[in-house]
Every structure is written in C-alpha cells, then in structure tokens.
Homo-oligomer: A and B are copies of this chain.
Amino acid sequence: MEFLDEVSEQGVTERRFDLQVEGQRVPGIVWTPSGARGPRPLLLQGHGGVQHKRVDNIVALAHRMVRNHGWAVAAIDAPKHGDRVSKEEAARERERVTRAVRNREPINADRRRAMATASKTAVAEWKATLDALQTLEEIGTECKVAYWGVSMGTRYGVPLVASEPRIQCAALGLYGIGPDPDEFSEQASRIKVPLLFLFQQHDELMTPEAGLALFSAFGSEVKTMHMNPGGHVGIPKFERQECEAFFTRHLGAAPDHSSRV
C-alpha cells in the first residue's frame, strides 16, 4: 500500500493510495482521525455507477464516521471508474446513464450481466484493499468492518458482503431483483449480517416491488428497508445520519473515541 499524498483538515486525515491487484492499479483513499493510533472500526464505501471514490456522499459519510465516532473509512475506484478510465470514456458513460434515468429505462439484462462479470473483479479488489488496510497500525487485523454502497455499490457489494466474513454489517440500496444472472439472488440469500437497505420510491431504473424482492431475498434476520419518495439520485441527506446511527448501533465507536451520541 503506497501513499501518494496526505492532507489533514479539522481532525480528519485523508491519504490517497495506489494498490496493485492482479496486475491492475486500484486507486483509493483512506480517512482516519488525525493522530489516530491503535485499532478502530473500518467502513468500506463502494461508489455508484459513473461515480468515483471521492463523490460528495462518500466524503460526507466518511467525515461523519471519522469525526463523530473515530472510525477509519476507505473508498476505491471500481473497475472502469474514476482514475481508471479516460475523461472521454467517463463522459460517454455518464451520458448513457443520464439518458437511462431520463427515459426511465430499467437496468436491462445485458447491463446486469456486465455488472455480474465486473463484480468478480470488484470483489477481489475490495478483499485485497481490506487486507492492505488491516496492515495499518491505526486500523489493525482485528478491526470490525462495515460496508456502504448503493446502486452499483450494491450490485458489487452483495457478492462482497456475502463472501467476506470480516464484514459485520452493511448499508445497501438502489438496486432490485431483475433479469440478473441467478447467482445474484443466491448471493443475497447468503448475507446474514444486519442490513440497512435504502430505496427510492420513484426510482427511474427499478420498481419498489423489485426493491422489496431484493430486501426479502437477503438472509439477514436484522434488516430494515428505508423508502423515501424521489428518484434514483435523490436519497435524502438525512439518510446519512441514519447510516451513521446504523453503523454505530452495530459496531460502536473507536476505542480511543468518546462518541458524541
């Protein structure tokens, strides 16, 4: 794990890193309390399609978890996203998704198959990232781990959480059962950890019924679906606070931190 730079601001230290995984460069960021020493819970954040590791919602939740609870937080660019794609490719992809949302085109079977294939790479990269992060003294090999990711972050997050015993709870959302390869429902059923599942009632890309079907498929006994009105990119900001409360309800604050709550 090679750090490229380090910036500290208002108690949060942000370090960019590059990791080599199966011949691919995986760029990431890790946020920790400035001056942190010793183990603490770690949140992994998986961004959505056409987004990247440093979008507003990821940074906002990272700052909350670090400042309010002393957690460590990490995000990486998914395959063909962020620093792993040219500006031209990113622009083309953004246009495709914007058009799909505008035209209310459900995620089709081709797209779902493509994400299923890419999810294998994404999962391997997350596991390698987690291995590397746990070598840091301020995170540690015994740290409790949570995952957050909606939309594509859920499509990749479901197989990750299903197959990664270190992850002890997860916030997912903005995805539903559709014409996915069969393995997807099966992966969902293998998840047993507490879940928060965020859904938008007027999502242009999937119906509440499809979301409810995925929620039902999860094998977790403790799971809550939060449904708000609005479209795919309109999760209300107060749900950040809900994610924060969910994560700390299950994994607590860092041992060296006096939680404000």
* B221 with A224: CB separation less than 8 A: no
A255 to chain B, nearest CB (A): 21
* B245 with A241: CB separation less than 8 A: yes
Residues of B contacting A222 with CB < 8 Å? 236
Scan A223-244; emit 1 where CB is below 8 A from any B CB, else 0. Answer: 1111111000000101001100
Q: How many copies make up the complex? A: 2
A201 in contact with B216 given A238-B249, A261-B260 (CB within 8 Å): yes
C-alpha spacing A241/B246, complex, angstroms: 10
Interface membership of A162, Cβ < 8 A: no
Interface membership of A79, Cβ < 8 A: no
A113 to chain B, nearest CB (A): 29
Cβ 8 A contact of A225, one of B221, B223, B226, B242: B226
* B229 with A227: CB separation less than 8 A: no
C-alpha spacing A261/B201, complex, angstroms: 29
* B229 with A226: CB separation less than 8 A: no
* A227 with B249: CB separation less than 8 A: no
Residues of B contacting A261 with CB < 8 Å? 260-261
C-alpha spacing A227/B236, complex, angstroms: 17
C-alpha spacing A215/B221, complex, angstroms: 24
Interface membership of A140, Cβ < 8 A: no
Interface membership of A130, Cβ < 8 A: no
C-alpha spacing A261/B68, complex, angstroms: 11
A199 to chain B, nearest CB (A): 9
Residues of B contacting A242 with CB < 8 Å? 242, 245
Interface membership of A107, Cβ < 8 A: no
Interface membership of A49, Cβ < 8 A: no
Residues of B contacting A212 with CB < 8 Å? 208, 227
C-alpha spacing A19/B229, complex, angstroms: 40
Residues of B contacting A208 with CB < 8 Å? 212
Residues of B contacting A241 with CB < 8 Å? 245, 249
Scan A183-224; emit 1 where CB is below 8 A from any B CB, else 0. Answer: 000000000000000000100000010001001100001111
* B229 with A223: CB separation less than 8 A: yes
C-alpha spacing A241/B261, complex, angstroms: 11
Can you give 13 A-B contacts (C-beta < 8 A)?
A: A208-B212, A222-B236, A223-B228, A223-B229, A224-B226, A224-B228, A224-B236, A225-B225, A225-B226, A241-B249, A242-B242, A245-B245, A260-B261
Across chains A and B, which 5 residue pairs bring their CB atoms closest together, nearest first? Answer: A225-B227, A224-B228, A224-B226, A261-B261, A226-B226
